[in-house]
Amino acid sequence: MIPKQHWKIAVHAPIKEPLTYLSELSLKPGQWVHVPLGKRSTLGLVLGPAEIYEKENLKSVSDIDPSLPEMSQPFFKWLTWLSEYYQYPLGLVAELSRPALEKKTSNRVSKRTEVVPQLAQDYAPELTSEQKKCLEEIKSYKGFHTHLVHGVTGSGKTEIYLNLLEKTLKQNQSAIVLVPEIALTPQLIQRFAKRFGDKIAAFHSQMTPREKTNHWWDIVEGRKQIMIGARSALFCPQENLGLIIVDEEHEPSYKQDDKLKYHARDAAVMLGHFHQCQVILGSATPSLESWHNAKLGKYHLHQLKSRVHTSGLPEVEVIDLREEKAKPQDHQLVLPSWLSKSLYDKISKVLDDGFQAALFLNRRGMANVVMCNSCGHSIECPNCDINLTLHSKSHLVCHYCDYHENLKENCSACKIGEMSPVGLGTEKLEQELKKLFPGKTVIRADRDEIQNREDLENFIHDVETGKADLLVGTQMIAKGLDFPKLKLVGLVLADIGFNLPDFRANERNFQLIVQMSGRPGRHLDDSGNPGQVVIQTFNPEHESLKFAIHHDFEGFVESELTYRKALLYPPHGRLISLRIQSPDRMTARDLATTVSQRALNLKSQFSQYESLEILGPAEAPIAKLKNQYRYHLLIKGQGSPALQSFIKKLMGDEKWIPTRSRIIVDIDPLHLI
């Protein structure tokens, strides 16, 4: 019999430090075990032997969980890094690496299990000189390196990914390909399946738990070698990992906003470090953090400045809506207030020529505000500090907590006036386009219309096969989708997002405009037309717009980094956000004051924290959300280690936080609203 030993176990519970258990079993770091916790049994991850110390009534490990293989050491070290860096309990981090359901033992397969299509073999096209140079440079490196592939839209970044994946598979290694949105997954999977057949597994939110589980095991047991999916695909443990690709690396959706607040791009780089494999970050508009790392030499920069199939980037026209409103109306053609004559004419021409047009508006619904025409009263969500959005002419919805109510004709405040919609949303655009272009098929792509994988696949199929003439959508149609017949893109109101209280607002606007401008004219055809982009705005002088219309990424970055450096904002500095929330307004305010005072005291006591800045507390821009009153506080500094230790000391054992109140720590926050 093996004598009982002390072991550190990270349990599946919101407990920051590992617990110590006794065991007569022969354990190894990375194994899953069952352990007693309170009056129940729970899963735990074995971290290693614990120092022997005198403590009575230590509980014993029940048994080793036989359902999962032992973790590899690189993957185990990566999970540990995630827990330490993002200050989240390791037991809860590790749980993300387990499959959704138990392994299926029967031979019956669900009809929806196989999500990867089996398609005819597709062969690699002839590479451009830029693509060849990029590939040769990447392949010249061995072991762990991070490469930033900066290529204009349509420059053939995906073909570079495919070529690198071929090399990886020939070396009998596996790979991960991350995409930021479920919207990009079907097209990408189809393209990859044409090249790699049944070697592909998928992992994203629109799959059923059984599908996720089956694909998880296909990768873990080596039946498939390429995992394509959203950020959670990183948590599928792979043997012999040889390549990680992060497509559209700039996308904010790579950052998880609840529970473990990790950034999948940064986590992917660290996973590559522990596995000693290459990491590829690709984008037409890289994040300022990645660009800065490339300029410092931490990443290797590769640039693709030309499109593969066309003579150049689309022509861009900016429409000043202030001047447009002042123009006399053509009484034979009455256009809605959101549509300029120039954009209308271009849509008409494109449709007459048998091509497609897309209109982008980052707002769902019929109208974003419903207001009394007599007293000005607007209808707000009772749970959130936000206006309700009108849908289907009579349905009011909160896009944050999903509260909804029917629109009443008369004002509930003054009892006299009528409630009228103000503003614009994609649903209203769709309705008015159908009236303007009768006989043409208009389809909408937003979270109201596309709610599951089948909706998304139908949308992509209708656009690709020419069943749709006009597309209307939110950000869903701005990101990486590739439609051969799309020749015109109109940004209906580029101003949305220009004045958000967030230091990253300029960067996001620039990226969105450039990405949306990159959708049309991606395929060579008889027209020779590289595509057209029309940007409607009330603020044509806006900084991000001036650079975006000339596709001048480096000019924008230089300007934006100068501003960031002066204020020590990322990438020149680091941030940690503390969100203080409570169902009681006074409790939230008082707790925010307490947190601020603790932070100031801590800074004054330790010399290593002298350079840190403490900003706030202040009410969050959305001061109430889901019946929680919210304050926030920012800690700003130049080095990550000092910030990390500061937050650990500041939070302590957290027993000082009032009941029903929370302090949510966000390391490297992307959203400050």
The domain that holds 503 is classified in CATH as 3.40.50.300
The domain that holds 637 is classified in CATH as 3.30.70.600
What are the tokens at 3? Answer: 């004598």
Which position has the token pair 């019999």?
1
Of 399, 423, 447, the residue that ends a domain is 423
Of 407, 423, 439, the residue that ends a domain is 423
Q: Which residue has the higher pLDDT, 520 or 379?
A: 379
- Looking at the structure of the chain, the number of domains it has is 5
**Confidence category of residue 261, pLDDT binned at 50, 70, 90:** very high
Sheet containing strand 395-397, strands side by side: 389-391, 395-397, 404-406
Q: Residue 527 and residue 350: Cα distance in Å, rounded?
A: 11
Is the pLDDT at 518 greater than 70? The verdict is: yes
Q: Residue 536 and residue 422: Cα distance in Å, rounded?
A: 19
**Confidence category of residue 204, pLDDT binned at 50, 70, 90:** confident
Q: Residue 33 and residue 610: Cα distance in Å, rounded?
A: 44
Q: Contact at 8 Å (CB) between 522 and 307? A: yes
Q: At 540, is the secondary structure helix, strand, or coil?
A: coil
Helix (H) / strand (E) containing 7: strand 5-11
Query: Is 154 domain-assigned?
Result: yes
- Residue 386 has a pLDDT of 85
Cβ atoms < 10 Å from Cβ of 53 = 8
Query: Is 98 domain-assigned?
Result: no
| Domain shared by 241 and 157, yes or no | yes
Q: Residue 213 and residue 234: Cα distance in Å, rounded?
A: 14
Q: Residue 164 and residue 161: Cα distance in Å, rounded?
A: 5
Residue positions counted in the chain: 673
pLDDT digits (tens, 9 = 90+) for 543-578: 888 898 888 899 999 999 998 999 899 999 999 999
| Domain shared by 275 and 358, yes or no | no
pLDDT digits (tens, 9 = 90+) for 445-491: 877 777 777 777 787 788 878 888 998 988 776 665 667 788 899 99
pLDDT digits (tens, 9 = 90+) for 206-220: 788 999 999 999 999
| Domain shared by 499 and 604, yes or no | no
CA–chain centroid gap for 656, Å, is 33
Cβ atoms < 10 Å from Cβ of 279 = 24
- Residue 494 has a pLDDT of 84
Query: Is 233 domain-assigned?
Result: yes
Model confidence, pTM? 0.89
Q: Contact at 8 Å (CB) between 347 and 470? A: yes
CA atoms within 13 A on the CB side of 536: 21
Q: Which residue has the higher pLDDT, 325 or 535?
A: 535
pLDDT digits (tens, 9 = 90+) for 147-178: 999 998 778 899 999 999 999 999 999 999 99
Q: Convert 28-43 to b/e letters by CB count within 10 Å (16 or more is b).
A: ebbbbbebebeeeebb
Please state, rounded to an integer, the average pLDDT across all residues of the chain.
87
Q: Residue 426 and residue 115: Cα distance in Å, rounded?
A: 30
Of 408, 423, 438, the residue that ends a domain is 423
Is the pLDDT at 506 greater than 70? The verdict is: yes
CA trace torsion 77, 82, 87, 88 (10° rounding):
-100
Query: Is 40 domain-assigned?
Result: yes
Q: Convert 629-658 to b/e letters by CB count within 10 Å (16 or more is b).
A: bbbbbbbbbeeeebbbebbeebbeeeeebe
- Residue 80 has a pLDDT of 96
Query: Is 60 domain-assigned?
Result: yes
| Domain shared by 438 and 499, yes or no | yes
| Amino acid at position 13, single letter | A
39-to-23, 36, 59 alpha-carbon distances in Å: 19, 7, 12
- Residue 514 has a pLDDT of 85
Query: Is 136 domain-assigned?
Result: yes
Query: Is 108 domain-assigned?
Result: no
| Domain shared by 340 and 485, yes or no | yes
Q: Domain of 650?
A: 574-667
| Domain shared by 415 and 502, yes or no | no
pLDDT digits (tens, 9 = 90+) for 226-257: 999 999 999 999 989 999 999 999 999 999 98
| Domain shared by 247 and 297, yes or no | yes
Q: Which residue has the higher pLDDT, 210 or 181?
A: 210
| Domain shared by 323 and 231, yes or no | no
Which position has the token pair 């209708």?
462
| Domain shared by 251 and 197, yes or no | yes
- Residue 112 has a pLDDT of 40
pLDDT digits (tens, 9 = 90+) for 88-131: 999 999 999 999 898 876 544 444 444 555 655 667 788 999 99
| Amino acid at position 336, single letter | P
| Domain shared by 554 and 543, yes or no | yes
| Domain shared by 411 and 445, yes or no | no
Q: Residue 329 and residue 326: Cα distance in Å, rounded?
A: 9
Query: Is 404 domain-assigned?
Result: yes
Is the pLDDT at 509 greater than 50? The verdict is: yes
DSSP E strands in 264-336: the ranges are: 278-283, 300-304, 315-320
Above pLDDT 70, what percent of the chain? 91
Query: Radius of gyration over alpha carbons of the chain, in Å?
Result: 27
| Domain shared by 272 and 159, yes or no | yes
What angle is formed at CA 455 by the lines to CA 488 and CA 514, rounded to 5 degrees?
30
